[in-house]
Homo-oligomer: A and B are copies of this chain.
């Protein structure tokens, strides 16, 4: 390991919101991304390095120390329950993990009910229903979770909701929020001790100007909702 940092960042829509935030903290990923093509590892200015990984893989690369820091959604972090340091809630990519069901087939849940639930988040879903005293049969899906409710594979689904438009298009209604989700900086604990650039990055991200954040979102220490 040199003094530069290795970043594990999620491919896809969150990367657009991450770019100006890191830019304001002095890490330029925009120019490297412009010429990235299909490459998954990119060299950055200042001896830093970027790994572009699937969002659910970010915690793995950080936990094993292949990346010093990463950016991951609270949904992924809590579902996987890893032992990472999460020093900054970046306030970006806000959405919620929610329970939804067909608008024409509402489930009357009460203590003792049993319900079939399709989800990409089996651990968080199990915990959610258990906390309400409801026996849920969790059916893990990898692709479209809405289809689970549309085909009666499941009575309810637990899925990420941003605008709610996908639910509406599929005749589903949101009935409960399981978790409010934003993206967080995650750090490989030994890197924090060994690499001064990590603390500098944390400080810079905590004081990043409002102009590089989505409207109304504030950075902050991570709090447990």
Contact = CB atoms under 8 A, between A and B. Distances in A.
Contacts of A142: 54, 56-57
B143 A56 contact: yes
B144 A53 contact: yes
A147 interface: yes
A122 to B, nearest CB: 12
Contact of A40 (B51, B53, B64, B144): B144
A77 interface: no
Count of identical protomers in the assembly: 2
A207 B141 CA distance: 33
B143 A53 contact: yes
A60 B144 CA distance: 13
Contacts of A54: 141-144
B60 A152 contact: no
A147 B60 contact: no
Nearest to A147: B40
A59 B84 CA distance: 34
Most buried by B among A41, A51, A61, A147: A147
A147 B56 contact: no
Interface in A141-175: 141-144, 147, 150-153
A47 to B, nearest CB: 16
A139 interface: yes
Choose among A54, A61, A64, A140 the residue with the greatest number of B CB atoms under 10 Å from its CB: A64
A152 B64 CA distance: 10
A79 to B, nearest CB: 12
A140 B66 CA distance: 15
Nearest to A10: B143
Contacts of A151: 41, 51, 61, 66
Contacts of A153: 60-61, 64, 66
